[in-house]
Amino acid sequence: MTPRRIVVAGGGTAGWMAAAALARVLGRAVTVTLVESDAIGTVGVGESTIPPIITFNRLLGINEAEFMAATQATFKLGIQFDGWKTPDSGYFHSFGLTGKDHWAAGFQHFWLDGLSRGHAEPYDDYCLELIAAREGKFAHLPDDRLNYAYQLDSTLYGRFLRRMAEGDGAHRIEGRIAEVELDGTSGDIAALVLESGLRVEGDLFLDCTGFRALLIERALHVGFDDWTHWLPCDAAIAVQTASTGPAVPFTRATAHQAGWQWRIPLQHRVGNGIVYCSRYMAEDAALERLLGTIEGEVLTEPNRLRFTTGARRRQWHRNCIAIGLAGGFMEPLESTSIHLIQRAILRLIRMLPAGPVSPADVAEFNDQQHTDMVQIRDFLILHYKATERRDSAFWRQCAGMEIPDSLAQKIALFRDTGRVFRRNEELFAENSWVQVMMGQGIIPASHHPIAAKLSDDDLARLLATLRQGVAQTVAGLPHHADYVARYCGAAA
């Protein structure tokens, strides 16, 4: 069988993740050609990840310590959210589990019952990842008991993947795309025509051209669903600064009067940025706020971005598949950008056609991609909607906005009963929803009656045992910065 010719349009994180995965997993079954121009910059700010990236790297046989050293990566145990419920409030959204669930009810029901019986210890005290993050500690534990992701330099990650992809046979062509040539009969993409005149033909084309979406939108016109009425931020500015202290194992997201700021500590520097709604904050004011609140020497010129939150109406159309920003955008509040790239790539590999593209495959791919994006969209909207802030026009708009029925149902169910149900391989598990909803001020009015089955002594013993287990484990962990230096220290 002749190998399938797969053409990747665009480099960056999305392009090289796709090329590396296809070349490594499929080998001689495909030929992979990536077209990119050194003259076109990449967004390059997706530096905070979530745990599924570990699975992606393992599937590709990537050595973790080598990868982390090459990308100046640190470990990440979750996100500290400051100022979201009220200007002076804070909570932590951690990876992993809190406490110990019963098959009939999550741990939050036993904790809530404990509150009614006089146990005042915070919900946080029962989560290993959360306490380790707060104390700045990390280590790999047996049985993967400590759930983590990475904070990394996405530009260096792209270079790392490029070396790997080219080693596995992927071919890179330097050049700017001048035209997307369509087949006059089928309407499929026939070739990319570069400014040099070179034609790059293929069977499948992956659009990794970022916000420009040269193939999926400009050539194939699939349409776009705008979600800014739910997620109103439409601009960002990013800068890098020198580290001023040991890197902590978590990302920080701090709300301000018209959006929020991020802080992502890597081994040798820190990634910083401000996300804002241009209706309520001017660019100059956003830059002034960002530069006035960061720590350390500024290492880069400000990188200004404008975006529209939303999703393409089809991620796969004809013989073109959108990967990454070409398929849609949601602000990096919960570090989902690289995850959505990964999901699309692995989904494509599972559905890769041996012959002509199957309409059934295309429909299933689009349905699954849309479900992923809608579920993540709802989780992000929760952060803005469930707030007690009324101190600016931006927050008053967020608090008063209508939200999707899917999210409204989830909030109402948790507020009334303390229950959360995960659907259709949903990315964010029950513990994530519980931590964010309670952190944003949604406290259930009731809980599952099974908690009442425990006597006062049994409940006290359960809660104490769980807290002590977390505290003892964290006490035995090394400091995160020391562990990183020993395990995967990058050259200065």
At residue 483, the pLDDT reads 98
DSSP reduced 3-state for 291? helix
Q: Would you state the pLDDT for residue 425?
A: 81
Spatial neighbors of 55 by CB under 8 A, at least 6 apart, are none
Q: Provide the terminal-to-terminal Cα distance of the chain, rounded to the nearest Å.
A: 48
Whether the Cβ atoms of residue 208 and residue 40 lie closer than 8 Å to each other: no
User: DSSP per residue over 375-427, as a string?
Assistant: HHHHHHHHHHHS----SSHHHHHHHHS---HHHHHHHHHHHHH------TT-S
Please, which residues have CB within 8 angstroms of residue 149's CB and are 6 or more apart in sequence? 48, 49, 50, 51, 53, 54, 75, 76, 95, 335
With b for 16 or more beta-carbon neighbours within 10 A and e for fewer, the 20-36 pattern comes to bbbbbbbeeebbbbbbb
In order of their start, the domains of the chain are 4-47+153-225+309-357 (3.50.50.60), 99-147+376-475 (no CATH), 235-306 (no CATH)
CA 134 from centre of chain = 21
For residues 42 and 326, give the distance between their C-alpha atoms in angstroms, rounded to a whole number.
12
Q: What would the two tokens of residue 226 be? A: 């705008």
Pairing state of beta strands 310-312 and 224-226? antiparallel
Two tokens, residue 330: 């949601």
Comparing CA positions, the residue from 253, 255, 258 lying closest to residue 272 is 253
* Token pair for 300: 């880069």
**282 Cβ neighbours under 8 A, 6+ residues apart:** none
> Which two structure tokens, joined as six digits, stand for 275?
């996300």
Strand ordering across the sheet containing 303-306 = 90-94, 78-82, 251-256, 259-265, 269-276, 235-242, 303-306
Give, as one character, the DSSP assignment of residue 332.
G
Res 1: pLDDT:
46
- Of 158, 311, 332, the C-alpha closest to 236 is 332
Does residue 7 sit in helix, strand or coil? Answer: strand
d(CA 344, CA 355): 20
d(C-alpha 342, C-alpha 327), whole Å? 13
The pTM score is 0.96
DSSP 3: P
Cα(457)–Cα(461) distance, rounded to whole angstroms?
A: 6
pLDDT in tens, the chain (492 residues): 466 899 999 999 999 999 999 999 999 999 999 999 987 766 555 699 999 999 999 999 999 999 999 999 999 999 999 999 999 999 999 999 999 999 999 999 999 999 999 999 999 999 999 999 999 999 999 988 999 999 999 999 999 999 999 999 999 999 999 999 999 999 999 999 999 999 999 999 999 999 999 999 999 999 999 999 999 999 999 999 999 999 999 999 999 999 999 999 999 999 999 999 999 999 999 999 999 999 999 999 999 999 999 999 999 999 999 999 999 999 999 999 999 999 999 999 999 988 888 999 999 999 999 999 999 999 999 999 999 999 999 999 999 999 999 999 999 999 999 999 988 788 999 999 999 999 999 999 999 999 999 999 999 999 999 999 999 999 999 999 999 999 999 986
Q: What backbone torsions phi and psi does residue 73 show, to the nearest 5 degrees?
A: -80, 155
Number of Cα atoms under 13 Å in the Cβ half of residue 102: 16
